[in-house]
Amino acid sequence: MNNSALLSFLCLFALLHQSLAASPQFNVIQFGAKPDGRTDSTSAFLAAWKQACSSTRGVTLYVPKGRFLTRSMLFKGPCRNSAIFIRIDGTLVAPSDIWAIGNNPNWIEFQYVNGVTISGGVLDGKGAPLWSCKLAGRKCPTGATVLTNYSSTNLFFVFFSGKQTLGFSFCNNVLVSGVTSLNSQMFHVVINFCRNVKLQGVRISAPGNSPNTDGIHIQMSTGVTVVNTKVATGDDCVSIGPGAANLRIENFACGPGHGISIGSLGKNVNEPGVQNVTVKSTTFTGTTNGLRIKSWGKPSNGFARNILFQHATMNNVQNPIFIDQRYCPDRNCPDTASGVRVSDVTYQDIHGTSATQVAVNFDCSKRNPCKGIRLDNVRLTYNSKPAVASCANADGTTIGLVQPGSCL
């Protein structure tokens, strides 16, 4: 074999070897991360991300066992591959100094990434100091205010500036599997302007009295699926905001918490609606709400339509079935009639116990009455007796046994 033949043989071998080898793996330890729970590993994680994102092939970013302290991290795309697999065996820990994340948007945020999986691991948001600051009414870093912005083209922009634990904005093809989020400072998981996102086997946990710790918030996104997930927290287990479409939640447990909430909708005049939502096989335990649709009592062109709530068990829930179109915490609602149109909402096989007498409450807008409400086999009791239903401006039908008797 002459030299050039040898060279081409070696090249061929290297090529073959490369294509047969497992995708490259980057361990955050190689980038200087320390699993001691004390050393700031932020820059190591960001350096590992930079490599993973610039790889032209799918890659694995590996976080081994141990506790990794990190400040806010923005994992930004677009990346040169669409198969980044982040495997976490350890725990990421946020700084407990409430000003360390400060007024930064999020703790862990992905933006403009197409094709990312996060598998396993614990995200420990260290929320307690911020919650006590808020509960004591002291001056705290600003919370998850939703900044709404309308550009000249009337496009709808919503950005969060808060301290959610895990955020995805403008991302497609995302899988979050077997991840645990503990004690988030604010919202645990936020999905904003994304397509095709799946959350499975996710565990979310914070105390029932922790302020603004919503479990999963979804808005301006289509094709989001949440399955086999449990949320115990101080605010909504799931909140579904404007522009959510084609959303499915299945095998989901909530409690403590404020239930699964579509809304608040209609805070703004121009607002995209929520449509095609299926919430199936859910259990609510000791929650303030079960299945809720909530809109501001102000003018809006928003809507919620084609919603199916199917197979829900209520255990001692304060408002098991609730449409609340008179939400106005800031008391700045001119005539309290919501512009949001609620239509085609089905409640099928909903049963269990209510913690208050009114188990079914449709408090719809007098300007836009709810249309196409269907109650199909609903059985809710209060103190072992049938509960009560209350309706205002609600129109629809009942099928099968419905207790409390329908007021539609």
Q: Which residue from 276, 301, 353, 377 is in contact with ligand NAG, where contact means CB under 6 A?
A: 276
Q: Which residue from 245, 337, 407, 408 is in contact with ligand NAG, where contact means CB under 6 A?
A: 245
Q: How far is the CB of 117 from ligand NAG (least distance, A)?
A: 24
Q: Are 129 and 163 in contact (CB under 8 A)?
A: no
- Determine if 225 is a binding residue for ligand NAG (CB under 6 A): no
Of 119 and 246, CB closest to ligand NAG:
246
Q: How far is the CB of 243 from ligand NAG (least distance, A)?
A: 9
Of 222 and 336, CB closest to ligand NAG:
222
Is 17 a known active-site residue?
A: no
Catalytic residue among 188, 258, 311, 351: 258
Of 104 and 177, CB closest to ligand NAG:
104
Binding-site size for ligand NAG (CB under 6 A) equals 8
- Determine if 153 is a binding residue for ligand NAG (CB under 6 A): no
Which residues on adjacent β-strands are paired with residue 293? 262, 323
Q: Which residue from 164, 184, 239, 275 is in contact with ligand NAG, where contact means CB under 6 A?
A: 275
Of 275 and 283, CB closest to ligand NAG:
275
Amino acid at 203: R
Q: Are 304 and 265 in contact (CB under 8 A)?
A: yes
Q: Which residue from 3, 19, 151, 154 is in contact with ligand NAG, where contact means CB under 6 A?
A: 151
Would you give the binding string for ligand NAG spanning residues 303-342, x where CB under 6 A is met? ---x------------------------------------
Of 185 and 221, CB closest to ligand NAG:
221
Give the residues lining the site for ligand NAG (CB under 6 A): 149, 151, 157, 245-246, 275-276, 306
Q: List the catalytic residues.
A: 258
